[in-house]
Structure 1
Amino acid sequence: MTARETERATLAARLAPVPAGYARGLRLPWWLKLGARLALAGLGRDGQRAWRVSRVPEPAWLIGAPELWMARAQAVLGRRPRSLLEIGPGRMLLRAPVLAAMGFERIWHAEVGGGAPMDAAPYRAVAKLAWDRGLPAPDLAGCRDHRAVLARCRTSLLAGGPAMLSAIPDGAVDLVVSETALEHVRREELVPLLAQLRRVTVPDGLGLHWIDFHDHLSGGLQHLRFSNAFWASPLVGRAGIYLNRLGLSGFVFRFRRAGFSTAVPEAMVWPVPPPGPRRPHPEAMRPAGDDLVCRALLEVRPGG
């Protein structure tokens, strides 16, 4: 695939401006937040775990997002998807009762970063919320832990890098979804992961991938100033701020190399590059156009 073909493939059908203050977080200098996260990680505090505990899922996240996936999939496929693979942090498992209520016959969750709730209580709360919204969630009475809940919801939890998807049969998945997950996958693991996604997706299947391209310190591009030796270190990973630093064109290229056709239905863009290094580290260089894309939806299908 040539550079010009990749550039054309990244053109979004719908563009939206990045809202003021988007993903900025606390109004502190980025370098102060970086130092604090690294210090906590050095003391054995998991930055990702702290983030997970502080986030409380809302109905729009639990129900609204899956309804959007279903509507998009039906529009593209011309039918309801029967099987689903969701890639993301373990807290997304809370959606299992909702997804089962929506009619998915088989669900896999590939965990990136851990954090799956172990107790059955939060899942029962989600099931009640689904019923309140008119969705017939499974009866979770008698479920003592998340394993029993997942069995009742026809859901399997997978963990352990790209190889975890080997548990899924070839061509078994109608719909693959990830939300702000693929940017956290290590670069060396991304190509094997995409190869597995191609293997498990049915020939007429669909992948919907929402990807963030900003840093997790200030909502800008400060992560482009560092060498790979530092940025890919275990300390940065434990701090919960690691991103693979690929831009939209990098993801499009890799999906196409894996055997997918790609489209970008929507993207959120900056008019000029946001705060970041005057010149990125040579190991973090990417096409200039990528530095204007804050977030995008990448829609992929087998073929191409």
Structure 2
Amino acid sequence: MQFRPWWVTMTAKLAVSRLPVGYRTWARFGVFRHGGMDDGSYAISVFNAHVRAAGLVQLQGARILEMGPGDGVATALIAASHRASAVLVDVGDFVAHDLAPYKKLNRQLSSHVDLEGCTDLADLMSRCHGSQYLTHGLASLKTIPTASIDFLFSNAVLEHVDKDEFADHVVELKRILKPGALMSHEIDFRDHLGGGKNNMRFSSATWNSRLFRSAGFYTNRIACSDMVGMFLREGMRIVQQEASPHVVAPPPRRALAPEFRAISEADLNTAILKIVLST
């Protein structure tokens, strides 16, 4: 694989983001994509990984929430194959509306949803045991009834939640979970530019500017220990966690923006965290 400096990736994304082209057009070319949940096999592997991490065996009748489904509603079909329903929450309507990939995924599943005569995405979601696709982020979470979710998960999503709204997301995620229910998250603390921590080179004023936020590489830059601490302060309990270190070395501290130079070694070197929490 050819090495590409992080700043080359950043410059290219900044330039491309200024072009008057919509999200779905870019996504067709693999640019600015929101994950790979429109790929059936990948979606199944992600779903199963989080279910296994939480130690869940029986899903029938469960209400499962996915934070940030990205480019597809595959989780609704996968949940339905377990006789469960899904609530998919994102900050916009990014999913593919072409039904062909979903029908292909449906054929891969051991238990099928009847999609005969299915006309559109809303019809498909309805057939998945009344699953929902909500597209207003935090505002959508606030509409979900208290203690109505049996299990929730996210995959490389929490690092993209707006920093100013993160604490409110934690409050809502705990509120909607049933007592004793579990949540599973895989969080990618890398810079989404080259796998390091080069996003910490920039001041908050620059990083949070409209130009940077719209370029497809925004992350909230909340440190791992701070993020976990927010869940703990809300009364959540860690069931298990596994942190993976960086493969790409982080920048020297002197190259970081002043606000990040005191970050702990553990946080600086954490690339990915897999964590399961309980109410």
Q: Do both share a fold (TM > 0.5)?
A: yes
Q: How does 1:12-31 map to 2 (within 5 A)?
A: 27-31=3-7
Q: How does 1:94-113 map to 2 (within 5 A)?
A: 94-104=74-84, 106-112=85-91
What amino acid is the match of 2:118?
Answer: C
Q: How does 1:23-62 map to 2 (within 5 A)?
A: 27-45=3-21, 49=27, 50-52=31-33, 57-62=38-43
Q: What SS does the aligned partner of 1:255 have? A: helix
Which one is further off, 172-181 or 137-146?
A: 137-146
User: Is the Cα–Cα contact under 8 Å of residues 124 and 140 in structure 1 kept in the other structure?
Assistant: yes
Q: 2:68 aligns with which of 85, 88, 91?
A: 88
Gaps of 5+ in 2: none
User: Is the Cα–Cα contact under 8 Å of residues 35 and 71 in structure 2 kept in the other structure?
Assistant: no
The total of aligned residue pairs comes to 271
Q: 1:280 aligns with which of 256, 259, 265?
A: 256
Instruction: Give the structure, 1 or 2, with the largest relative contact order (CA under 8 Å, sep 6 or more).
Output: 1
Q: 2:113 aligns with which of 135, 138, 144?
A: 138
Q: Distance in 1 between matches of 2:44 and 2:247?
A: 32
Q: 1:73 aligns with which of 50, 54, 67?
A: 54
- CA change 1:271–1:37 in 2 (3 A) is closer
Gaps of 5+ in 1: 1-20
Aligned-residue offset at 1:263:
4.5
- Residue 300 (1) aligns with residue 251 (2): no
Which one is further off, 121-130 or 44-53?
A: 44-53
Q: Distance in 2 between matches of 1:174 and 1:83?
A: 5
Aligned-residue offset at 1:68:
2.6
In percent, how many aligned pairs have the same letter?
30
Aligned-residue offset at 1:293:
0.9
Q: Distance in 2 between matches of 1:263 and 1:56?
A: 26
1:178-200 C-alpha deviation (Å, 9 max, x unpaired): 00000000101111111111110
RMSD: 2.5
Q: What SS does the aligned partner of 1:219 have? A: coil
Q: What SS does the aligned partner of 2:218 have? A: coil
Tell me what 2:220 maps to.
244
Tell me what 2:158 maps to.
182
Q: How does 1:223-238 map to 2 (within 5 A)?
A: 223-238=199-214
User: Is the Cα–Cα contact under 8 Å of residues 225 and 276 in structure 1 kept in the other structure?
Assistant: no
Q: What SS does the aligned partner of 2:119 have? A: coil
1:178-228 C-alpha deviation (Å, 9 max, x unpaired): 000000001011111111111100011001010001111111111000011
User: Is the Cα–Cα contact under 8 Å of residues 10 and 193 in structure 2 kept in the other structure?
Assistant: yes
